[in-house]
Amino acid sequence: MPSQLDQLKQFTTVVADTGDFKQLAQFTPQDATTNPSLILKAVQKPDYAPLLADTVKAHKGEALDVIVDNVLVRFGLEILKVVPGRVSTEVDARLSFDTEATVARARRIMGLYEAAGIPRSRVLIKIASTWEGIQAARVLEQEGIRCNLTLLFAFCQAQACGDAKVQLISPFVGRIYDWYKKQAGAAWDEAANAGDNDPGVKSVARIYAYYKDHGIATEVMGASFRNVGQIIALAGCDLLTISPDLLAQLQASEAPVERQLTPPAQAGEPEAPLTEAAFRYALNEDAMATEKLAEGIRAFAVDAGKLDAMIQALKA
């Protein structure tokens, strides 16, 4: 019997969610995703310290943000030696509310990849799904720079990303689950909220159905998983990005995996685009999404600051 990982790959493109590129080969994922927290985690390991030091040394006289982008791209280049598909590299989360700065940073990151001989088709620029981030992605997509809109918790964020014709979105299953579990406290029933009833799973399934029913080409990549059950419940989603720990669990099990999400035979027409006012009001009405989006940006910003500090120390 094939492993759950091999079974899952029949329905869904499997993506590895890690900056630790030395772990990747054993799972043979198609793509890989990184974020500031994952890169920070990787550079603190002895295996990757020389890569950080070498990159900083090569760009010592340049501005801090330029060195940071070179570090991120260096990891991306190593990942692309292992995966046959795409790597996602994230724009600094501290720019999440600045459309112009996000566009400029994304262009620079893509320029670094292109200078290293990597075509645009193999890179996704990760941007937070704020209104400003989504509008930056709209501009970038028109230039042929493909984007991965992350920190996505609300349905309105998915709608706006579809309107902007972004390449891919990353709705966060686990963080949605975390919020509802925390809200419920002692009343939380794990069994009753598992599988199809998991609030994070339901959110991704709703977005997937909306995109497929309305002929929206944006890819849906479930992200931020807490357990294998959440992954299995989304078998059939366009892509799923999974941590090495959960990839190992899937690889070790031969329990059956069946397709859960299936596109319709025929898609309808897209709905009218969301206005900025409608987007902001809908996001404001969703307490979970408002909280988790802000929390996610703050956490990524903190880790970006820690990476800055490491680089500053090496520059000194």
In angstroms, the CA 109 to CA 125 distance is 8
For 250-304, what is the HEC assignment?
HHHCCCCCCCCCCCCCCCCCCCCCCCHHHHHHHHHHCHHHHHHHHHHHHHHHHHH
Measured CA to CA in angstroms, residue 67 lies from 63, 71, 73, 117, 163 at distances of 6, 6, 10, 19, 34
Options 41, 81, 126, 181, the catalytic residue: 126
In angstroms, the CA 75 to CA 250 distance is 25
Is-catalytic flag, 315? Answer: no
The type of residue at 148 is: N
Place of tokens 């990476």: 307
Spatial neighbors of 257 by CB under 8 A, at least 6 apart, are 4, 7, 8, 11, 232, 235
> Which active-site residues does the annotation give?
126
